Structure 1
């Protein structure tokens, strides 16, 4: 008679390998460290093999552990797809929707959208992680990621939700009448966005199609777009910011658009999904809500 194994232990083991820590695995799974350790120990006893090497700083897989982890992830991914397929049959999204988004876009657009999503689908919980690093969707156990700008090559599935304009803005009380050409910006205080690879080099395009490459000067650098906007409002200098962040401030008059007849490169707004045949209803519905939000925003 064959022995019945507790397949739940595969998820505990995989979480430890992916996070490199019993504590982090426990946090991801919502259980105690002792439970994770006990489940992995029992798994090793069942297999009569050492799967993990434990030290004071990190937990890593043995050769046998790496081989077993490959098989585990295949099984767990198939199980997740099976649950995702079944969840599509549900009329309303259910379960936990886990996603990540950049700080500025996440605060300005995604957080309000999440609130509407929760009101409309109270049986679905949401975990939103804000950060400008490109989180690993598989290792981070995420359902989707919002990416802003220009995507690098990826094996993941990317769907464009919309786009945004970059705008040169200044404080409403600033004097900008004499700025009529990008060359006029050379001696103007500018706040650089340190999150960009080259925050001082910009290409402007006129209505007639002429392009001008401008190298700006900056004595103030900040790595957060909302913080840059706050500094601009206080008169610290000009800055280039996305339209979704400054739109309300331009309408209220706290910020003003500089060189409005010149355009800067536009960026895209994408939903990035793990490669999978099936999409859970919670993912499909939220993605469509974001698409509609972007469509309404640019009108």
Structure 2
């Protein structure tokens, strides 16, 4: 069956019929006359019929050859159309882009990226899900997900977009309550908002320089189920907490939040795009990831 579906031999045969000779068909296809003759002969052997009558002066299609030519032209046209559509999808974005991202990074970076993507490719549709729950990309039919933090082992393929810092922040009104010489251990006496979207929401490792390390276990005054909830509580003045830099940068610059212990650092996290395992990526995914990369580069500029 695979021999009967050899599209090259169909192309050789139709070229002979259309040009009227093996020589002209070879010139059109860029191959030797002998190659064309051999391939048409193999096609006739596979089909068990004579397609072309050969004389010393000219070629003539048999009745079976004329009928087969009509079908072969349609087959080649459909194959060319299918190949063109797939090739176009590899070069140009088509269809619907399905995205998943964690809520905080989704709102801060992925949403602006979707805006830019739609401005550049207004014919594209985008299906977006912001959720802190990690979904199975294949089961959820997700083209690309953005994961912030520390990746778990999986069969997915990942590409690092960048990194983020974690900042301890509080509302301005709370600054007056800070003790003199405020340090990491003083957190235990302040109202802390625990974010249960994190793996260890009450345990923090602070570092300063090469040798200073302080591990602090806080007793939360308020507990939140996810990052937006914790963030809203801190902005409302409930207490202080730790958030990624991409989330708090604007509020710190505007004076709505104050960064504390700026000379100490918390563990740096990674920002990754994650794909279902595949050899090639469609254009819609590649182009969207390029936009994300550009926004990450801009975010890191001073």
- Structure 2 gap ranges (5+): 1-83
Q: CA deviation at 1:120?
A: 0.8
| Matched ranges for 1:129-278 at <5 A | 129-174=129-174, 175=176, 176=178, 178=180, 180-278=182-280
Q: CA deviation at 1:85?
A: 5.3
Q: CA deviation at 1:84?
A: 6.0
Mark the CA change 1:206 to 1:139 in structure 2 (over 3 Å): closer, same or farther: same
Distance 1:220 1:279 in 2: 44
Partner of 1:139, secondary structure, is: coil
Q: CA deviation at 1:177?
A: 5.9
Superposition CA RMSD, Å: 1.8
Query: What's the TM-score, normalizing by structure 1?
Result: 0.69
Task: Report the structure number with the largest CA radius of gyration.
Answer: 2
Distance 1:250 1:204 in 2: 20
Q: Does 1:96 align with 2:92?
A: no
Partner of 2:189, secondary structure, is: coil
Partner of 1:250, secondary structure, is: helix
- Kept in 1, the 8 Å contact 2:96–2:127? The answer is yes
Q: CA deviation at 1:251?
A: 0.2
- List per-residue Cα deviations over 1:224-273 (Å, max 9, x = no partner): 22221221122211100111111100000000001111000111111001
- Kept in 1, the 8 Å contact 2:116–2:291? The answer is no
Distance 1:231 1:219 in 2: 11
Distance 1:227 1:245 in 2: 13
Distance 1:83 1:100 in 2: 27
Mark the CA change 1:184 to 1:144 in structure 2 (over 3 Å): closer, same or farther: same
Distance 1:172 1:110 in 2: 29
Distance 2:221 2:147 in 1: 29
Mark the CA change 1:108 to 1:84 in structure 2 (over 3 Å): closer, same or farther: farther
Report which of the two has the higher share of helix: 2
- List per-residue Cα deviations over 1:259-294 (Å, max 9, x = no partner): 111000111111001111111111000011101111
- Structure 1 gap ranges (5+): 1-81
Distance 1:89 1:265 in 2: 39
